[in-house]
Amino acid sequence: MPTGIQITTELLYKGALVFALLDAIYLPLLVRRVSEETFHRLKWPLVIAAALVWYGIWSWAIGNYWEPIYSYVFPAWGRAWIPGIAFVVAGPVSLGLWALAIRIKSSSVLTFCLLGGLLGSLTHIWALYRGIVSKPPMLQGASPLGAVLIAFFEFIFYWCTILIVATVMNWMQTRLIKSRV
């Protein structure tokens, strides 16, 4: 990774805008394409997809940004363990988001992804307390609000992706079962 890169407040806000624009495309398509009935069937595919996607995200993040960012806010053992922890934790978290989404009187798909965005903001608030914008030189001086805002839209994007992966897994399973009959 090149040295001297600085994550600024402006960069965080621009990143939030990019993710918001992606979400503005992604989310309405999912709301239209994934019916309530289908979403209800995605309980276990969402658990599996979330575990795999979050393992991948954290493997990439830790692999690429341990030294400049994460080593400042996580203990040393985190480098080896965080992707595995993400794998184990993401499944139950997705199950909780799914359960909340089907209970709220609104589009389950929209609710699921918005709850995922809220979760992102909450995890970044926790990261602020751990020093994410004060300890790593790369992030020093960046706005805490910017860090929380980008997380909201970034995590909506991630949970939309997880929903797509789960939908494809469900579709493939259905096709496989039908081809055996």
Q: What is the pTM (predicted TM-score) of this model?
A: 0.94
Residue 4 domain-assigned (yes or no): no
Residue 181 domain-assigned (yes or no): no
Residue 62 domain-assigned (yes or no): yes
Mean pLDDT of the chain: 95
pLDDT at 122 over 80: yes
State the Cα–Cα distance between residues 179 and 173, nearest whole angstrom: 10
Per-residue pLDDT tens digits for 101-119 = 999 989 999 999 999 999 9
What's the confidence (pLDDT) of residue 2? Answer: 55
The count of structural domains within the chain is 1
Residue 51 domain-assigned (yes or no): yes
Classify each residue of 44-80 as buried b or exposed e, where b means 16 or more C-beta atoms within 10 Å of its C-beta: bbbbbbbbbbbbeebeeebeeebebbbbbbbeeebee
Domain that holds residue 18: 9-174
Residue 169 domain-assigned (yes or no): yes
Measure CA 140 to chain center: 23
What's the confidence (pLDDT) of residue 5? Answer: 85
Per-residue pLDDT tens digits for 14-56 = 999 999 999 999 999 999 999 999 999 999 999 999 999 999 9
Residue 1 domain-assigned (yes or no): no
Compute φ and ψ for 106, nearest 5 degrees.
Answer: -160, -175
State the Cα–Cα distance between residues 177 and 170, nearest whole angstrom: 11
